[in-house]
Amino acid sequence: MLSLPQAEGAELVPLGTVPDVVDAVALGEAAAGLVPIENSIEGSVNITLDALAFGDRIQICAEVIRPIRHAILGVAGTSLDLITDISSHPHATAQCREYLARAVPSARVHAANSTAEAARDVAALGDLAWAAIGTELAGKLYGLSVLAADIEDRPENATRFVLLGKERAASTGADKTSVVCFIEKDRPGSLLAILHEFSDRQINLTKLESRPTKERLGEYCFFIDMEGHADEPPVQYAIESLRTKILEVKVLGSYPRAEHPGA
């Protein structure tokens, strides 16, 4: 987050979960919030998608893509062969699944709200048999030793984070818009009708994903990322046209596109 211009001079406040961050921004308790939305190994962070789609109306103001390097962190004096229990966020452990199966196949994996929380809890426990998966920085902050570094299953592992705020970012000419589309009822051609609005205006879609609406089994909404800003005529007209045809279109934000560090 510190690499974003909007973060210059900001006071950083850690919160326990993604919904906590979203609520803090929505209630005005924080000026902005940074949350993970997509990982190159595990795909979308569903709790973030749900918080944006079904929570209070806040905007994605910026995005940043960062390489992710995970480490096994333990208390001083332990070693990898002593570890029987590992704590971390499920997304992090999933990114290291192959390594864990090779290096600590009998270790029990426990879910934490975040990698930082896992490191904090392992440090507080002080048990030689417990370890956390997190960043080396988290290990330093909580006085843990690095038992194994760079344990992610793919060296290109990267996560896309989005900055949340109350106001839509101004157009820069190199933007992305994220929306979620709700249809009134499932019927043949519903998704095709949505996609036509963008293809007819030559709007490039960079992501399309469905998520349950949480109302009834088999009902889904569609998350769409596209090139362009919601205030630009092609995107604006596509969204306006969609609103006459489906139940709801919620604009999650328009913001400058981030370049992948490895691009």
pLDDT in tens, 203-260: 999 999 999 988 888 788 999 999 999 999 999 999 999 999 999 999 999 999 987 6
Burial 56-84 (b: 16+ CB within 10 A, else e): eebbbbbbbbbebebbbbbbeebeeeebe
Strand bridging mode 108-111 / 85-88: parallel
pLDDT tens, 120-132?
999 999 999 999 9
Residue 81 pLDDT more than 80? yes
Taking phi over 0 as left and psi of -120 to 50 as alpha, with beta for the rest, 259 belongs to beta
Q: Please tell me the predicted confidence (pLDDT) of residue 229.
A: 97
Identify which has the larger pLDDT, 81 or 2: 81
- Domain ranges in the chain are 12-66+159-256, 71-155
CB-CB neighbours of 257 under 10 Å: 15
pTM for the structure as a whole: 0.86
Three-class SS state of 150? coil
CATH-assigned architecture of domain 12-66+159-256: 2-Layer Sandwich (3.30)
Of the candidate ranges 6-20, 38-52, 134-148, 206-220, the one whose mean pLDDT is the lowest: 6-20
Could you list the active site residues? 159, 161
What is the distance between the alpha carbons of residues 238 and 194, in angstroms, rounded to a whole number?
9
Task: Decide if 183 contacts 195 (C-beta within 8 A).
Answer: no
Q: Is the pLDDT of residue 158 over 90?
A: yes
CA angle 110, 217, 159 (to 5 degrees): 45
Whose CA is closest to 39, among 95, 117, 113? 95
User: What is the CATH T-level fold of the domain 71-155, as seen in this structure?
Assistant: D-Maltodextrin-Binding Protein; domain 2 (3.40.190)
Digit-coded pLDDT (tens) for 108-120? 999 998 898 999 9
Nearest to 35 by CA among 252, 185, 128, 45: 45
How far apart are the C-alpha atoms of 93 and 17, rounded to whole Å?
A: 17
d(CA 243, CA 68): 38
- Residue 263 pLDDT greater than 70, yes or no: no
Q: Is the pLDDT of residue 3 over 70?
A: no
Token readout for 218 is 């088999």
In the predicted model, is pLDDT for residue 140 greater than 90?
yes
Say if residue 98's pLDDT is above 60.
Answer: yes
Least confident stretch, 5-14, 43-52, 200-209:
5-14
* Confidence category of residue 261, pLDDT binned at 50, 70, 90: low
- What's the pLDDT at 197? 95
Contact by Cβ (8 Å): 100, 109: yes
The encoded tokens of residue 115 equal: 């990698």
pLDDT at 262: 53
